[in-house]
Chain A
Amino acid sequence: MAGTAVLGRLTWRAAELVDIVVETPRVKTLGFDVPGWPGHRAGQHVDIRLTAEDGYQAQRSYSIASAPDGTRLELTVELVDDGEVSPYLTEELRAGDRIELRGPVGGYFVWEPAQGGPLLLVAGGSGVAPLMAMIRARDAVGSDAETRLLVSSRGWDDVIYRDELERRAGDRLAVVHTLTRSQPSDWTGYARRVDAEMLAEVGPGPGARPLVYVCGPTPFVETVAEALVGLGHEPQAIKTERFGPTGG
């Protein structure tokens, strides 16, 4: 595959925080205006850079959650308790503040509407962010690519983009939740970690040759990718992205 991700140098740009959406008690979506933003493909990420008054800097990578939309960019950030950057982004940063950002980065874990479907998207927790960018990009161009999204969350209140997913779901987009720790009293859905049986039920099966994207914490991605290969999906058709609280 030829690289079309970036051409020339990725320069640091000033990004102004425009709005904040509280997704769950621990997760916020930050909407930035980034003048000069060159556009991106669903699944790509950005690097952000913070500078303290004494010149100390910290950088981290975040997946882009929004579909391409001019100079607007959304990042969905989960608070990592002992983290360095995520507490600042989720608790300190307010509208009007500026941070430095560069991107888009990454040319592999991407989906463009022209690639079509079927799509199987499997998310663990905040790993849903780049998959949401794919769903939004799909809807933005009116693609009818058959898409199944399986999201694993701890509880109903931990489901990121819950209402929007419900709104977007339809004939060609199935959204399936599994709640691994606690479930509402009337819950009839999955209530366990993602396993091969669940993946087989959600489908599409290997015969349909879906493009598969898996994103979440490392143990989640390892388990899901292994189960998918076990079901007969081509390893080459399975693209993975791993999130981990590693000081984030």
Chain B
Amino acid sequence: MSFVSRGFRGRRREDADPSRVPPGQYVTRDFPVLSAGPTPHTPLEEWTFSIVGEVDEPRRWTWEEFRALPSEEVTVDIHCVTKWSKLDTTWEGVSVDTLLEGVETSAEHVVELADGGYTTNLPLEDVTGGKAWVAFAYNGEPLEPEHGGPARMLVPHLYFWKSAKWVRGLRLTATDEPGFWEVNGYNNYGDPWREQRYWGD
């Protein structure tokens, strides 16, 4: 039912390739911060990353062990549900495929677990096959706490709230369990190209 807003011309970004900007998004050069509460500060010596839930055997890495895993540098576009997109962001992280190597599971879903109690849910197939990382560096620098450091999820093909900051583990589940924002009005899946921002989108 769209109608023209009298006098609105807009300010398109000439330098951004429109085919890389999902509907309703605008390109920013900043890196805005969004989170629901205070920024947690977990000391690295207390930090662990766990794979739990419907698995043959839970896995756990200390920071040192985690950083010893093979990592990848990836350059991806990210899209926040609050409308900004940022193109060509460069991260370094451990592929979720690496973390799940050898894990026996019948689970079809996964819940990301983060400091502060934040959770977000996805189909397991959305974090496997080279689609998701546990990232610890941004632009070649250790990830800042306000951007999710020491480590955050990076699932760039979905809206960015699906990339939990301060991530501490993955819980594999047989059934879909809506997470923090998903029970608070946000879409269960969150595909930016289908503009799945909210419930019912």
Contact = CB atoms under 8 A, between A and B. Distances in A.
Nearest to A243: B32
Most interface-central of B4, B11, B30, B185 (chain A CB within 10 A): B185
B146 A218 contact: yes
Q: Is the interface of B mostly helix, strand, loop or mixed?
A: loop
Interface of A: 1-3, 5-10, 12, 14, 47, 49-53, 56-61, 84, 88, 92-93, 97-100, 105-109, 218, 222, 225-226, 228-229, 235-236, 238-240, 242, 244, 246-247
A235 B37 contact: yes
B4 A222 contact: no
A106 B187 CA distance: 11
14 contacts: A3-B178, A3-B182, A5-B184, A8-B200, A51-B2, A59-B24, A59-B83, A100-B3, A108-B180, A228-B38, A235-B116, A239-B36, A242-B33, A247-B30
B103 interface: no
A226 B40 CA distance: 9
B5 interface: yes
B185 A107 contact: yes
B38 A56 contact: no
B128 interface: no
A60 B83 contact: yes
Contact of A50 (B8, B23, B40, B84): B8
5 tightest A-B CB contacts, nearest first: A9-B200, A107-B184, A5-B185, A225-B38, A3-B183
Interface in B11-58: 11-12, 23-26, 28, 30, 32-40
Given A10-B198, A108-B36, A97 B5 contact: yes
Contacts of B12: 56
A233 B25 CA distance: 36
A56 B36 CA distance: 32
Contact of B32 (A52, A218, A229, A236): A218
A18 to B, nearest CB: 16
